[in-house]
Each structure stands twice: as C-alpha cells, then as structure tokens.
Amino acid sequence: MDMVERYIAAVQRELPEKKRDDIGRELKSNILDQIEALEAQQGKISDDEVAELLKTMGHPRKVALQFCPPTPLVVTQLMPLYLLTLYMVLGVLFVISTIEITGRWLGGAEMGLLLFMKALASDFLNNAYFAFTAITIGFAVMSRDRKRDTADVVETCKWSPEKLPSANKSWQHISLQDIFTELATLLFLVMLIWYPLWQPDSRAQSIFTAETLTILSWFTPVIAIAIAHSLWQLRTRLWSRNMLMLNIAVNAAFLIVAIWLMLSPVVEINENVWRGEVAIAIIERSVQVTMLVIALIVAYEIIRDIRRLLRL
C-alpha cells in the first residue's frame, strides 16, 4: 500500500495544485479497485505484482499529463494571427534597425561593411528578442483568457468571396520578407542621399560626388514611389498587372541611373585618407562593379516582371 501512496504522491506532484487532491483521491480509488479485482482472481498479491500493475499504468508524469494535458502557450486558433504579427513587427524592426545603423555610419562612426552588417544584426536581434518575448506573452495571455479567437476576428472582418483577388500563379503571392528587405534597402538609399541635409549642423559630408548627388537627388521621387509601392504591397500581398507595370517602370529608372553612375565617378574620395593612385583606382573599380551588379539584378527583375506580365 505504501507503494500505491508513493505512486499517487508522485502523480500529484506533477499536477496543478487545485486538482491534486481530487485527482489523487480518484486515482487511489481506481488503483485499489484494480488491486481488489486481481486479488479476487488470484488471492493475495505481492508487492512485485503491485509494482507491475503500477508500471502498466505508466510513469507518474505520463499519468499526470493524461489527466491535465499541457495547454499550448498560443492556442491553435490564434496561431495564424500570432505568426502574422510576429513577421510584421520583426520586419518593421529590421527597417528601423537599418535606419538607425545607417544614421550612425553616416554620422561618422567608423565601420566597414562587415562591422556595419554586424551592428545591424546586433541592433535588430536586441530589438527582436524583446519584441518576440512581448508578442508571445501577449498572445499567451489572450490564449489563456480565450476572450478572442481567430474565428471571431475573421467573422468581424467584412469580406465577400466575389471580391477576393484572382491569384492563379504561385509567384503572385509576395512574401513579407521580400517586402521588408526592399523597404530596408530603399530607406538605406534615401538616408545615404539625404543625410547631409538632415544633419546640417554636423560636419557630415556626402560620400557622393556633386554630380552623383544631383542625379540621386533628382532620382529621390522614384525611390519615394518605390517605398509607397512596397507599403501598398504590405496591404495587398499579391502581384497585379498594375503593380507589375509600376515595378517595371521603377526598376527601369533604377537601371538607367545604375548605368549612368557606372560610367562616371560616384564616390568622393578623400585623397588625404586614400593615398596612392592604386588605392583610389581600386575604390573606383569596386564602385563600378557594384553598379554593374545592381544594374544586372535590376535588369533581371525587369525581364522577370515583363514575362510575368505577359503570362497574367
């Protein structure tokens, strides 16, 4: 009997406090019934046989879990909303981190490309840890209360099947990752162009030559359109004919500027810092290669979008 008591106590230890006594009392009654039934069949049973019976019932933790199965931190009904919130918030944080680190870099902080990437990753992860924890706790509380669930949320949204956009092709769906990467890139570019104007009191100087800066300044409205387009993509998450045409136009403008910049000096090189013609030539060559890569990527996207447009 002592073994039965110990078994029940072990199960109770794994149970929530308010259910311990009740489940323990019932479990004891059930076990004693089984022992009684065995004794009725084969007479007095030994401790070994009791142990065998308890083993067939399962490990105390398993039995406790069967009585009180663990509830997930976020219930299934809230999971789609939870994931969407997580992706959106993390995407926005990535954009904010890009702006912040670009600001620091343009403000004179000494960092190469690797340090820039490291600072960006570090800043993003710091914010992301907090956001992830806060969102998860928020949804855990909502799951606990069960006051709202996805079914309610969906039902309150007005929608009709007739108004759903047609999406026959899998490529028409735009991933959140693509949108936020695009947004971060565009905002980085805007900051690069306009930073000296935002910081008139500082001694920050543009990294571009006067001619490049003029070209890029005139190009800013195109970047603004691209940003607005990305924000619109966040709402629709689906490529339409109009959106494809706009993307082709924006990318065509990017291609022209990239080719133009490939053929002229882009970066203002401080000869006091970069001594020697070889070093300057390497920098100019690197910029040209970068422009070529940008032009190739943009050209690929234009061809891809034209093909998609023809197939729609």
Partner 1 sequence: MATAPLDKLKLELRRGVLVLAVLASLREPHYGYSLRQQMQDAGVDIDEGSLYPLIRRLAEQGLLESEWKQGAGRERRYYQLSTLGAELLEQLTQEWTSLNSAIGPLLLGKTDEEQH
Residues that bind partner 1 (CB under 8 A): 23, 25-27, 29-30, 32-34, 37, 57-58, 62-63, 66-67
Query: Residue 33 CB, nearest distance to partner 1 (Å)?
Result: 3
- Of 1 and 292, nearer to partner 1 (C-beta) is 1
Residue 96: both structure tokens together = 């904010």
- Of 31 and 106, nearer to partner 1 (C-beta) is 31
Query: Residue 30 CB, nearest distance to partner 1 (Å)?
Result: 4
Three-class SS of residue 173? strand
* C-alpha to C-alpha distance for 277 and 275, rounded to whole angstroms: 7
- Of 37 and 157, nearer to partner 1 (C-beta) is 37
Query: Residue 261 CB, nearest distance to partner 1 (Å)?
Result: 59
Query: Residue 78 CB, nearest distance to partner 1 (Å)?
Result: 22
- Of 34 and 209, nearer to partner 1 (C-beta) is 34
- Of 15 and 193, nearer to partner 1 (C-beta) is 15
- Of 65 and 176, nearer to partner 1 (C-beta) is 65
Are residues 245 and 309 in contact, defined by beta-carbon separation less than 8 angstroms? yes
Are residues 15 and 27 in contact, defined by beta-carbon separation less than 8 angstroms? no
Query: Residue 57 CB, nearest distance to partner 1 (Å)?
Result: 6
Q: Is 199 exposed, middle or buried (0-12, 13-18, 19+ CB in 10 A)?
A: middle
Query: Residue 12 CB, nearest distance to partner 1 (Å)?
Result: 14
CA-to-CA separations, 290 to 275, 287, 294, in angstroms, rounded: 22, 5, 6
* C-alpha to C-alpha distance for 312 and 241, rounded to whole angstroms: 7
Three-class SS of residue 178? helix
| Residue 79 neighbours by CB under 8 Å, 6+ apart | 150
| Residue 310 neighbours by CB under 8 Å, 6+ apart | none
Q: Which long-range contacts (CB under 8 A, 24 or more apart) does 268-273 make?
A: 268/205, 268/206, 268/207, 268/208, 268/209
